Amino acid sequence: MHESVKIIKDPEATSIGHSVKEFLCRLGGPTWIDITGHDTSRNRVFVTLLHGNEPSGVKAIFNWLINPDRKTPLTNISFFICSVEAALIDPDFSHRYLENEPDMNRCFRPPFNGKNGILAEQVLKRVQSLAPEAMIDVHNTSGSGPDFTIAPSQDDAFAALAANFSRRFIITNISLGSLMEADVGCPIITLECGGSFDMSADQTAINAIEIMTTHDNLYQQALRSGVSIYRGPLRFELKEGVKIGFGETPKEGCDVTLAADIEKHNFGITQANDFLGWVGPAGLDYFTAIDDQGIDIKNQLFEVREDKLFTKQTLRLFMVTPRPEIATKDCLFYLVKAE
């Protein structure tokens, strides 16, 4: 294991710290926390803080660990808290990753190069050695919005696992090198709890630990009833070098200005002809929306009229972000066609 990765087993509540920040300071870097359960023949894994600006998962772990009344988990559970150093950059939870390093959740496939790649490979090897029966990767969304789960497969096991944590389930074949794409011998799902400032997101993460530590069967097919399923989302991305801003009027010096209230579109129905923002003279050429055939279909989805960006058909948008850095380095949002 990389020298910077700690493994802590069954820590005492008094060793955790008095706040989430103190907890992270004591960890110092990427850390595994292994908790012994009643049934030591079974293991589960809960990963969080792959991005340093997504606090709900680590808040939930902290509060669970310091709870004097918490019960022994039904099975062994291993928590992995990843981007501790990025999370501690002042102000706390403001940096997605360290400067000049790649997005950690793009490093879980070969070649495992650089510091983050080496760490990702070691995480996967340890998960395989634990041989868990289930694994979740807990995140906050890039903007405010409801919780949902994501999986790279529509197989029954993924759908059943996801149904424990949210009533919204996205099936994607987009390959980015994320943790949930890895083959570790058990289903991995991503749980997006909601925005990092949403109190409901913190509660969703707390509920996830409760489920992971107390539910005997995480694959009950009956839970799947009432879950809304969204297949094949597309990423709406900026082309390299495009400058973006957010506001109530076009921002000077920006090629694209999305509406200040763009987050309101998260998971609601966005009707055809809905206004999204302003664009410069290149119009739709600032963007891409690549489908699963590798074809850019942005012209089917959006249109520009008088330097304004509109939807061309009814869509569901999610992971809509108001943060220029994320919009530039990752994507503006994901979308599916509304059925």
User: Tens of pLDDT along 158-189?
Assistant: 999 999 999 999 999 899 999 999 999 999 99
Looking at 210, 231, 252, which one is the last position of a domain?
Answer: 231
DSSP letter for each residue of 38-104: SEEEEEEEEEE-SSTT--HHHHHHHHHHH-TTPPPPSEEEEEEE--HHHHTSTTTT--SS-TT---G
Q: Is residue 122 included in any domain, yes or no?
A: yes
Residues 261 and 332 in one domain: yes
Q: What is the CATH number of the domain that holds 81?
A: 3.40.630.10
| Opening angle at CA 104, ends 98 and 110, nearest 5 | 130
Do 118 and 255 belong to one domain?
A: no
- Widest Cα–Cα separation across the chain: 64
Note the pLDDT tens digit of each residue in 252-285: 999 999 999 999 999 889 999 999 999 999 999 9
- Provide mean pLDDT across the span 121-144: 96
Structure token digits, residue 78: 């291993």
140 and 214 housed in the same domain: yes
Asked if residue 1 belongs to a domain, the reply is no
Query: Are 163 and 307 in a shared domain?
Result: no
Q: Quick one: 305 exposed, middle or buried, by C-beta within 10 A (0-12, 13-18, 19+)?
A: exposed
Residue 225's pLDDT is what? 85
| Claim to verify: residue 283 and residue 134 sit in the same structural domain | no
253 and 198 in one domain? Answer: no
Same domain for 191 and 321: no
Residue 3: predicted pLDDT? 57
Which backbone phi and psi does 17 adopt, to 5 degrees?
115, 170
Whether 259 and 246 map to the same domain: the answer is yes
Q: In this structure, what token pair is assigned to residue 100?
A: 């000049």
108 is a domain residue: yes
Average pLDDT over the chain, rounded to whole? 95
Examine the fold and report which residue of 231, 251, 286 is the final residue of a domain before the chain moves on: 231
The domain tally of the chain equals: 2
Q: How many CB atoms lie within 10 A of CB 289?
A: 20
Residue 13, domain member (yes or no): yes
Q: Which residues contact 288 (CB under 8 A, 6 or more apart)?
A: 236, 237, 239, 296, 298
Q: What are 150's two structure tokens?
A: 């994501």
Q: Is residue 118 domain-shared with residue 251, that is, in the same domain?
A: no
Query: For residues 260 and 133, what is the distance between their CA atoms, to the nearest angstrom?
Result: 43
Q: Are 52 and 95 in contact (CB under 8 A)?
A: yes
Same domain, 217 and 238: no
56 and 193 in a single domain? The answer is yes
Residue 284 belongs to what domain range? Answer: 234-337
